[in-house]
């Protein structure tokens, strides 16, 4: 590893430990030439994949787009950003585990909705209304009735208890 201070190529690891999340290794290094210390992180390189959009075009998966879409759906809701980031991590990990080079945007949208349904029903309906392009109020009401029907089947009251 090249020293960021003197650019010497001879550095050594003096401490190594996993990060809190366990997805990376934090390494403390020392330069053999200038004796300055610095930190590096080592993590698994994720496989990049393409998203096939509704119109057939393809673009690289963009984690930030997924994050922003969920944040928008959860706006003014009592949902901590940590919960949103955890969902995005789970979605990205799940998509990477599929080991596919191309994934349809429809699949990503459905996975997002499944997570939102468990996290916050209002955010779920907001996301669904944009994702499924509700054309009128009847479509919106039908989605809410479907959601309420699932709650009754699961033994929940209409107010979510």
φ and ψ of 93, to 5 deg: -65, -45
Summarize pLDDT for 2-29 with one digit per residue, the tens: 999 999 999 999 999 998 777 789 999 9
Element (H, E) at 116: helix 105-119
Tokens 């997924």 belong to which residue?
66
pLDDT at 132 over 60: yes
> Does the CA dihedral 17-19-23-26 come out positive or negative?
negative
What was the pLDDT predicted at 158?
A: 45
Judged by DSSP in three states, 35 sits in: coil
What was the pLDDT predicted at 134?
A: 73
């Amino acid at each position: 590893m090249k020293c960021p201070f003197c650019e010497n190529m001879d550095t050594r690891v003096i401490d190594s430990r996993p990060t809190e999340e366990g997805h990376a290794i934090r390494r403390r290094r020392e330069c053999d030439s200038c004796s300055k210390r610095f930190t590096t992180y080592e993590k698994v390189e994720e496989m990049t994949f393409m998203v096939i959009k509704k119109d057939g075009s393809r673009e690289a998966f963009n984690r930030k787009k997924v994050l922003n879409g969920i944040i928008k759906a959860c706006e003014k809701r009592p949902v901590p950003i940590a919960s949103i980031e955890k969902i995005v991590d789970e979605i990205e990990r799940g998509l990477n585990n599929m080991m596919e080079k191309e994934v349809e945007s429809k699949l990503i949208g459905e996975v997002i909705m499944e997570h939102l349904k468990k996290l916050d029903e209002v955010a779920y309906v907001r996301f669904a209304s944009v994702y499924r392009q509700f054309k009128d109020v009847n479509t919106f009401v039908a989605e809410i009735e479907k959601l309420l029907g699932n709650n009754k089947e699961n033994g929940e009251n209409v107010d979510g208890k």
